Structure 1
Amino acid sequence: MAEIDRSGGVAVPPPMPTGRLRAAWRAAHAPVAGAPRWASIAAYAVPLVVLPSSLWRLPATLLHGGGPGVKVYVVCLSIAAELVAFTAVGLVASWGERFPRWIPWLRGRTVPALLAVIPATAAAAFLTVLWTAAFVAIFRGVTLGGAPTPPDFPTRQGVWSTTTFYICYLPLLLWGPLLAVVTYAYHRRRRARHRPHVRHRTRGTTRGRAAGCQGRTPRTTPQRRVRPARSALRTQCSTRWWS
């Protein structure tokens, strides 16, 4: 409900609940402890390299033809592409290591490392091969199936259409490599946390190693006194007698 200002008597709308939105935004984007800076930059760059192509599809379809079904499909495709690209941020955020609260039966539990590493690695390889092959085919003037590109293809609609298409779609070549870099950093970070602690042992005998592991000073074995041979004793005694 609106509150009344006592000074002027004007109704003032209640403040917007932006605190929860800011907290959710920070929780979704804040890097987790141990994530290197280069991995965070690569993760944040993934949604940005997908965004131009998603924005290009909307006016190209909504304004230049296509039935209602095609328009709904393109809008859903653009939204789905951004959501899939945003999952790369989870590889450097806390919700990539623990399930969020809104997921039933899994909230708060630790995400298995392989559950994130295997799909991310497969997706990185698939996206790299897909967009590389797609642009090789576009540069050759054919589709992925080998047929010539249709007359209404953007690269055949003039200089302006071709330039806009390449500016918006060429960043997709970085999607796969960036995802691979972030996946490697995620795998290395999770493996380092679960690696068993290696104890440092002191060099020397078995007794010295055991004492070093327990934090004590190793004992030193006293050296035995070496006795001279009997022949040397006889020679020494005879020398003293005759002298």
Structure 2
Amino acid sequence: MLKMNALPGVPRWAVLAAHAVPLVTLPSGLWRIALVAGLPVAPPDGDMSLGEALYVLSLTGISEGLALLTLGLVRPWGETVPRWIPLLGGRRVRPLAAVVPALLGATALTGLAVWFFCAPFVKPDQPIWQGTPAQDALLAACYSPLLAWPPLLTAVTLAYYRRRTGRQAAGDRALARA
């Protein structure tokens, strides 16, 4: 059995959802790494400059890092700043200090998903992707899991807020203990 070191009172579904977030971002990151490595995952568009490669790799690192922050909503370091962090170590994390950025992030991710799917309808004469059918299928397989990121993050964030502010209903508390 997988031991996830969650805090007491955190519902099991929230722990699983928090651990799923970094996993749903991983395929797109691997696709971007393959792109930088020169693998044929995208239509040939000439050689990628060093700046473009660094941007793509940075995007991968930042998105995975942000996804990993979701774990803080179910782990001890999401309630108390780790002692090794200068000036803040050992202090309690105020619930809204975690909830507001998380919900803003979920909103931004939802906006990006909507934009990505609506863009082809806004300018249908300008295709945003001109890959082979295999490249299109690979792109869809790698980026589709990202659609789960906003709802997973929202659900885990709301569970964190309810747990930290004591706004859980009695039935929810019973489920959290189970």
Residue-by-residue CA offset, 1:179-225 (whole Å, 9 max, x unaligned)? 000000000100118xxxxxxxxxxxxxxxxxxxxxxxxxxxxxxxx
Across the aligned residues of Structure 1 and Structure 2, the Cα RMSD in angstroms comes to 2.0
Query: How far does residue 129 in structure 1 lie from its aligned partner after superposition?
Result: 2.1
Query: Aligned pair 1:176/2:150, yes or no?
Result: yes
Select the residue among 86, 89, 109 that pairs with 2:68.
86
Identify the match of residue 127 of structure 2 among 149, 160, 164.
149
Q: What are the ranges of 5 or more consecutive residues in structure 2 without an aligned counterpart?
A: 39-43, 168-178
CA contact (8 A) 1:141 1:148 kept: no
Q: How does 1:216-227 map to 2 (within 5 A)?
A: none
**Higher fraction of helix:** 2
Kept in 2, the 8 Å contact 1:32–1:92? The answer is: yes
Question: Could you tell me which of 155, 160, 165 is aligned with 1:191?
Answer: 165
What is the match of residue 175 of structure 2? none
Show structure 1 runs of 5+ residues with no match: 1-25, 194-243
Percent identity for Structure 1 against Structure 2: 42
Instruction: Choose from 73, 84, 90 the match for 2:55.
Output: 73
Matched, 1:30 2:8: no
Aligned length: 158
Larger radius of gyration: 1
* Offset at residue 147 of structure 1 (A): 7.1
Deviations 1:18-66 (A, max 9, x none): xxxxxxxx8xx52111110011111011111111001101111331630
1:114/1:147 CA distance change after superposition, 3 Å: farther
AA at the equivalent of 2:21: V
Compared with structure 1, are the counterparts of its residues 166 and 141 closer, same or farther at alpha carbon in structure 2 (3 Å cutoff)?
farther
Q: Pairwise mapping of residues 48-127 of structure 1 onto structure 2 (< 5 A)?
A: 48-63=23-38, 65-127=47-109
Report if aligned partners of 1:32, 1:94 keep a CA contact under 8 Å in 2.
yes
The residue that corresponds to 1:131 in the other structure is 113
- Aligned-pair CA distance for 1:76: 1.4
CA contact under 8 A between 1:141 and 1:149: conserved in structure 2?
no
Q: Secondary structure at the match of 1:149?
A: coil
Normalising by structure 2, report the TM-score.
0.82
The AA in structure 1 aligned to 2:102 is: A
Contact kept in structure 2, 1:99 and 1:110, CA below 8 Å: yes
Stretches (4+) displaced over 2 A: 135-138
Deviations along 1:57-106, whole A, 9 cap, x unmatched?
A: 11113316301111111111111110011000100000000001221111
